[in-house]
């Protein structure tokens, strides 16, 4: 008796290829040619440095949101533009009390990585440090949910 099992990869289970394609459709529809080109180059960099498809999906989706919030071209950003963008991130995505959330943390982290890549040529902090525009962008601590511990007697 033979049982055939179809093994699916993680990528298949989460449909990363389909999700990435959908994100690029939004990018191509809503963003400028310069921004589209820059994000496509960044995606190639992620592919060439063996980033997982889940990581690529997260970065592309976040860059789409950040590009819409920035309201200008990435190649002309200033430190003040980054400060304003970080304020928008915190106002929109932080906890109600203003504390860092997972979502605001991820947006700021990806912002720093992306700006480092296109300004200094590497995604890696250890290789090039941070550009002036993002040196003061700080990633806050995320509040841990308090969990009740149950003791057995």
Q: Which two tokens stand for residue 104?
A: 């605001």
Residue 110 in contact with residue 59, Cβ under 8 Å? Answer: yes
| 20 has a pLDDT exceeding 60 | yes
What are the structural domain ranges in the chain? 16-134
pLDDT band at 152; cut points 50, 70, 90: very low
Best CA proximity match to 14, nearest among 57, 47, 49, 65:
57
Q: What is the pLDDT of residues 85-142, one digit of tens each?
A: 999 999 999 998 889 999 999 999 999 999 999 999 999 999 999 999 999 998 888 7
What does the alpha-carbon distance between residue 76 and residue 74 come to, in Å, rounded to a whole number? 5
Q: How many CB atoms lie within 10 A of CB 27?
A: 20
pTM of the predicted model, to two decimals? 0.83
What does the alpha-carbon distance between residue 59 and residue 57 come to, in Å, rounded to a whole number? 6
What does the alpha-carbon distance between residue 119 and residue 76 come to, in Å, rounded to a whole number? 11
Q: Which residue bears the tokens 């939004």?
A: 26
């Amino acid at each position: 008796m033979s049982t055939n099992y179809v093994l699916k990869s993680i990528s298949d289970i989460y449909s990363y290829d389909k999700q990435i394609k959908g994100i690029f459709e939004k990018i191509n529809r809503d963003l400028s040619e310069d921004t589209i080109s820059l994000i496509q180059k960044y995606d190639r960099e992620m592919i060439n440095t063996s980033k997982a498809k889940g990581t690529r999906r997260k970065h592309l989706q976040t860059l789409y949101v950040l590009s819409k919030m920035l309201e200008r071209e990435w190649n002309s950003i200033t430190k003040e533009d980054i400060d304003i963008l970080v304020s928008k991130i915190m106002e929109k995505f932080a906890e109600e009390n203003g504390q860092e959330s997972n979502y605001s943390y991820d947006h700021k982290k990806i912002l720093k990585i992306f700006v480092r890549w296109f300004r200094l040529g590497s995604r890696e902090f250890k290789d090039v440090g941070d550009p002036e525009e993002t040196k003061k962008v700080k990633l806050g601590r995320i509040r841990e949910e308090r969990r009740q511990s149950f003791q057995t007697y």
